[in-house]
Homo-oligomer: A and B are copies of this chain.
Amino acid sequence: MRATVPTRVLILGGGFGGVYTAVNLERILERELTRGEVEIALVSRDNYLTFQPMLPEVVSGSIGILDTITPIRRLCPRTDLYTRAIEEVDLGRRRVTLASGVGPRQLHLEYDHLVIALGNVTSFAGQPGLAEHALPFKYLGDALTLRNHAIHALEEADIERDPRARGGLLTFVVAGGGFSGVEAVAELNDFVRSAARSFRNIRPEEISVVLLHAGDLILPELPKDLAGFAQRLLMKRGVEVRLNARLAGATAEAALLKNGERVETRTLVSTVPGGPNPVVAAIPCPKDRGRIVTDLHLEVPGHAGVWAVGDCALVTDAATGEVSPPTAQHAVREGRCAAENIAAAIRGTAKRAFAFRALGKMGSLGHRSAVAQVFGLKLSGFLAWWLWRTVYLMKLPGLDRKLRVAVDWTLDLLLPSDIVQLRTDRAVSIRREHFEAGQAIFREGDHGDWLYIIEDGQVEVRKAISGQGETPIRRLGPGDCFGEIALLGDHVRTASTHSLTSANVLAIDRDACQALLSTLPPLRDFFNRLLEERVGMRPESSDAHLSDEVASPITQEAAR
């Protein structure tokens, strides 16, 4: 007997695993969907599928921004798409809770079959300063941010005269020597070197592009000779490959390595693989190093109707007994297998075990060069690059995207690289910053735009006193503020500050600070008391405009 309530299949995640599960479910269960016996829903952060192998080319602008991505609605038109964050997965009640959208209400989705395809996330946990100062490289937005960031660094370098500041602005560091790091550094290197030619005051030899790799040969996924080819090629193009170098932390001005070395840079990209998605981490089911354990049919043991595919799943190949690697090739096949097995469960037919042998591995090295290992063959140079382009063009979902990318690639052979800097993001009003021991946070005479509050660590305030040089006047710890004098009075910094230890600091910009002070009287009182107290403690009172500031500490300017 057929149930009158439709069977609900809910897919979590809009990457290759999730989207291809939906695509195959729509194909296999076409009859049931038409009769209203089955409903498919998919929850995704973005409304598009990102074709990650092409993200590095978004950085260099050699393909259009929108052409690496395909609208999910177009790929699976009979699936309900929810572009909201997931708040909770309740396996017991068979229910998933989504965050509120434009309105303030959460959404609850119930399911009969649940497919978990949430991938992994960029996680900077345990590496001080990375969350604040390193750029991730996973989503389309990351590629755009990196592109804008690199152009901004060139813009600033063009008008900067201090050699050390110029050095940091013109140094671009990528951490991670796997496929994504190598492809990213190759395109970034091509891009900044080509874009820099449009800047009047930047000499090519000032630019330094660095790849940090933890091992002693990049591309551990490939045979040694191919990896060696790639490494030599990158070096020939001007990439400094630092082997056995592991990223340990970052500040706004430098990448900090595990061996204590530091590389001064304003652009640090981390492609080091991320941790499990926090939503996955919170699901109480068997896991192995963060990945959800599945049986041969991709179902989660002990949870009938719960399936896992892609990077968040531990999938054992039925033919080889090996664990499937976290690649798009595998996610696509796992999605198909899960779709077939869900259809089999709904129809009461037999399930099949997952088995798939990878077709090959490829990595682009920019400038019409690549490395590839396909069906046992090893290729490098132009032939590998041609193969790379052709295969990815064929794999890119949607005919319109194929056409657009083909046109982009053709134009790119003819036209100069683009240097426009797109700024769509609004000012961030509160941010966290990390400082290493001994780092200057700001210097006397600097322009003051931020108020700082110490989360942890020690900071010393110093002031230049005639005849004595720079003298410590105050030591601050967790919960203490600094920077308020210049901020609240629209003046330059009247003292300098240095972190004595590694320190995490909350920084609040002028607008946010004034908005908070003008609306929260206890905060205003606190800062007024602080200003009075600090001026009383001040060793010298010769500074005329300081006293002015204090006479009306936070009145008109801030209260407006």
Taking the complex as formed, is A135 at the interface, i.e. its CB lies under 8 A from any CB of chain B? no
- CB contacts (< 8 Å) of A140 on chain B: these are 422
Q: B420–A455 contact, CB under 8 A?
A: no
From B71, B199, B404, B481, contact of A419 by CB (8 A)? B71
Which residues of chain A from 121 to 172 have any CB-CB distance to chain B below 8 Å in the complex? 140-141, 144-145, 151-153, 155-156, 158-160, 165, 169
Q: A432–B515 contact, CB under 8 A?
A: yes
From B403, B416, B443, B522, contact of A522 by CB (8 A)? B522
A506 to B518, CA, bound (A): 10
Taking the complex as formed, is A519 at the interface, i.e. its CB lies under 8 A from any CB of chain B? yes
Question: Which of A104, A156, A411, A449 has most B Cβ within 10 Å?
Answer: A104
Q: A446–B104 contact, CB under 8 A?
A: yes
Q: Which of A77-85, A230-238, A277-285 contacts B (4 or more CB under 8 A)?
A: A77-85
A154 nearest in chain B by CB position: B47
A432 nearest in chain B by CB position: B515
Taking the complex as formed, is A90 at the interface, i.e. its CB lies under 8 A from any CB of chain B? no
0 or 1 for each of A412-424: is its CB under 8 Å from B? (1 = yes): 0011101111111
Given A429-B429, A520-B523, A521-B479, A46-B421 contact (CB < 8 Å): yes
A404 to B443, CA, bound (A): 47
Q: Which of A58-66, A294-302, A354-362, A536-544 contacts B (4 or more CB under 8 A)?
A: A58-66
Given A419-B71, A422-B140, A80-B200 contact (CB < 8 Å): yes
- CB contacts (< 8 Å) of A321 on chain B: these are none
Given A415-B400, A430-B430, A102-B156 contact (CB < 8 Å): yes
A102 nearest in chain B by CB position: B156
Taking the complex as formed, is A101 at the interface, i.e. its CB lies under 8 A from any CB of chain B? yes
- CB contacts (< 8 Å) of A141 on chain B: these are 422-424
- CB contacts (< 8 Å) of A523 on chain B: these are 520, 522-523, 526
A481 to B428, CA, bound (A): 23
Q: A425–B425 contact, CB under 8 A?
A: yes
- CB contacts (< 8 Å) of A479 on chain B: these are 519-521
A521 to B420, CA, bound (A): 44
A529 nearest in chain B by CB position: B522
Interface size on A, residues (CB 8 A): 93
Q: A442–B400 contact, CB under 8 A?
A: no
Taking the complex as formed, is A447 at the interface, i.e. its CB lies under 8 A from any CB of chain B? yes
Shortest A429–chain B CB gap in Å is 5
A99 nearest in chain B by CB position: B447
0 or 1 for each of A284-310: is its CB under 8 Å from B? (1 = yes): 000000000000000000000000000
Taking the complex as formed, is A198 at the interface, i.e. its CB lies under 8 A from any CB of chain B? yes
Q: B421–A48 contact, CB under 8 A?
A: yes
A452 nearest in chain B by CB position: B519
A428 to B426, CA, bound (A): 7
- CB contacts (< 8 Å) of A66 on chain B: these are 61, 64-65, 418, 420, 422
Taking the complex as formed, is A69 at the interface, i.e. its CB lies under 8 A from any CB of chain B? yes
Q: A145–B415 contact, CB under 8 A?
A: no
- CB contacts (< 8 Å) of A186 on chain B: these are none
Shortest A68–chain B CB gap in Å is 10
Shortest A136–chain B CB gap in Å is 12
Question: Which of A61, A423, A521 has most B Cβ within 10 Å?
Answer: A423
From B77, B420, B493, contact of A71 by CB (8 A)? B420
From B99, B101, B155, B404, contact of A411 by CB (8 A)? B404
Given A159-B80, A448-B104, A73-B419 contact (CB < 8 Å): yes
Q: B47–A155 contact, CB under 8 A?
A: yes
List 8 A-B residue pairs with CB atoms under 8 Å apart, sorted by A's residue number.
Answer: A74-B416, A105-B445, A105-B447, A141-B422, A141-B424, A425-B426, A506-B515, A522-B526
